[in-house]
Amino acid sequence: MDDNLLSNIEQELIGIRQLLWGSNIKQEIFKRWSQGFYFSTNEKSALEQAEGGPCAIIAPIQAFILKKLLSDYNGMSFRYRVTEEVQHKVLVNALCEILQQCSVGSYYVVVLKNYKVDVDSSGPSVINGEDNNSDMDTTSALDAKVFHNNLKVRLFPLMEDVQKYYNENIDSLKAQFGVLLFLYSVIATKGLESVKSECDVTDPLIDETYGYGSQSLINLMITGKGVTYVWDNFQDVGGLKLRGLDRQSEIGFITLMEHLRYCTVGSFYKNPIHPIWVLGSETHLTVLFSDEKLLVSPETKSEEARRVFKSFDPDGNNFINVSSLRDVLSALSLVSDQQYVNIMTKKLDSENLGIILLNEFMDEFFPKEESSVPDMFQLIHYNGLARSNVSKQVQYHYGSAILLESDLKSINDSDPMLTCLQTKWPNIEVQWCDNITPSLN
């Protein structure tokens, strides 16, 4: 039975290749994605990204690594206590957590047929029975065709088995095709048809021209669901019900593209379970995180009211049409019979403009507004591309954030980082270390 399953999955690899790359794979793009998982020598807990492209895999994995470290240590105390053993532990934990989100039972780990790594702590690793250090040319020269012709799948019934396998074959994760092999493992574990059914588009998950990962791929890595959109649940667009996230995410996601009106990020992503967010720009993914747990504490009633109100205000104008008032009140479990709604409409729209302002609504129903979020907190930014870091080395960049009392946000197109953060915290200001704003790109 297992042999038949493996045979079917290995046949499915052809479809996975098509789903990821399309009909033709550009060798230059394939080369950019052909890297292993390795940590910065300057920031021991931070993965490095060699070239543009695989941030769709590396940034979410980095987010799950940080989730584990922030949980196991007191705040940022882990920063100078990360050994190679800890690196291996948190990397394997992150990969397994992502696979677990995708699994409906068994786990499928994709490996290279002729690329076997035997871990021997007393000496160099062995590949194809030869010294790893003697000749890597045959492996590094693999093109896309040879790579795909040599893929095979290993079936594991339990997560403990996957964890054991990765721990015993950690060098295969660190080798040249570690990122790609894990990506294929994610889709094989999720199931090709399952991923395709969640995607609403027919384009490849890796852009054929520029090599960037699609939003569906990003969502798959963060949440285990390869949906195309980032809003909550379903939205009706032109009569079509388009699917977004169906639950609060472990890791958050906010993006500059929301400010540019290319998408609407829902509460499930903006308010994750852990204070860690993958940040999106037009071309790259980075990670923002904090050791302040109150950033993700349960919503107060007034925070819920603001969120619900804004769900009826997709353009971010801080007002709704009077026709939406009843739905807002109903969603908040407030009195919503028509007679009461008519009375409140006259009160909140005394000038008959046909709109109800957010501040007027909050003053009426939640006059003593409370907030679970502190006014000041620390933010830390990670960018896996060394060239995009301040010192041209991958290092965490610290900032001190403050939430201003005013709801009016200053739009500054020359500061994409602030603009991105304001899609989550409209009234935020951040003083970054050394007055240098980290790059989203």
Separation of alpha carbons 189 and 155, rounded Å: 9
Separation of alpha carbons 410 and 65, rounded Å: 33
- Contacts with 390 (C-beta within 8 Å, 6 or more apart), sequence order: 397, 434, 436, 438
- Tokens 């009826």, located at residue: 312
Which DSSP string do the residues of 369-425 spell out, in sequence order?
Answer: ---SS-SEEEEEEE-SBGGGSTTSS---EEEEEEE-S--PPPP-TT-HHHHHHTTT-
Separation of alpha carbons 268 and 257, rounded Å: 17
The pLDDT value recorded for residue 345 is 96
pLDDT above 50: residue 124: no
The pLDDT value recorded for residue 373 is 83
**Least confident window among 41-55, 87-101, 104-118:** 104-118
Separation of alpha carbons 417 and 68, rounded Å: 25
> What are the angstrom distances between the C-alpha of 179 and each of 31, 34, 342?
12, 7, 58
pLDDT above 50: residue 348: yes
Active site residue 274: no
Average pLDDT over residues 7-14: 82
Contact 226, 242 (CB under 8 A): no
Residue type, 284: H
Which DSSP string do the residues of 354-369 spell out, in sequence order?
Answer: SEEEHHHHHHHH-SS-
Alpha-carbon 259 to chain mean position: 18
Separation of alpha carbons 96 and 162, rounded Å: 7
Average pLDDT over residues 120-129: 31
Average pLDDT over residues 210-223: 97
Q: Grade residue 371 by pLDDT with cuts at 50, 70 and 90.
A: confident
The pLDDT value recorded for residue 115 is 56
> What are the angstrom distances between the C-alpha of 240 and each of 195, 236, 237, 243?
20, 5, 5, 10
Separation of alpha carbons 427 and 402, rounded Å: 8
Tell me the three-class secondary structure of 176-240, residue by residue.
CCHHHHHHHHHHHHHCHHHHHHHCCCCCCCECCCCCCECHHHHHHHHHCCCCCCCCECEEEECCE
- Contacts with 60 (C-beta within 8 Å, 6 or more apart), sequence order: 98, 218, 221, 222, 251, 278, 285
53 three-state secondary structure: coil
Catalytic position from the list 88, 148, 274, 284:
284
Per-residue pLDDT reduced to its tens digit, 23-55: 999 999 999 999 999 999 999 999 999 999 999
Token pair in block for residue 220: 């798959």
Active site residue 433: no
DSSP 351: T
**Helix and strand numbers, DSSP H then E, in the chain:** 18, 15
pTM of this prediction? 0.85
Q: Grade residue 74 by pLDDT with cuts at 50, 70 and 90.
A: confident
Average pLDDT over residues 291-319: 85
Pick from 216, 178, 223: nearest CA to 197: 216
* Average pLDDT of the residues of the chain: 89
- Rg (Cα) of the chain, in Å, rounded? 24
Give, rounded to a whole angstrom, the gap between the first and last alpha carbons of the chain.
Answer: 47
What domains sit in the chain, N to C, each tagged with a CATH number? 2-195 (no CATH), 234-297+373-435 (no CATH), 301-365 (1.10.238.10)
pLDDT above 70: residue 420: yes
Separation of alpha carbons 227 and 419, rounded Å: 25
The pLDDT value recorded for residue 131 is 36
Q: Grade residue 136 by pLDDT with cuts at 50, 70 and 90.
A: very low
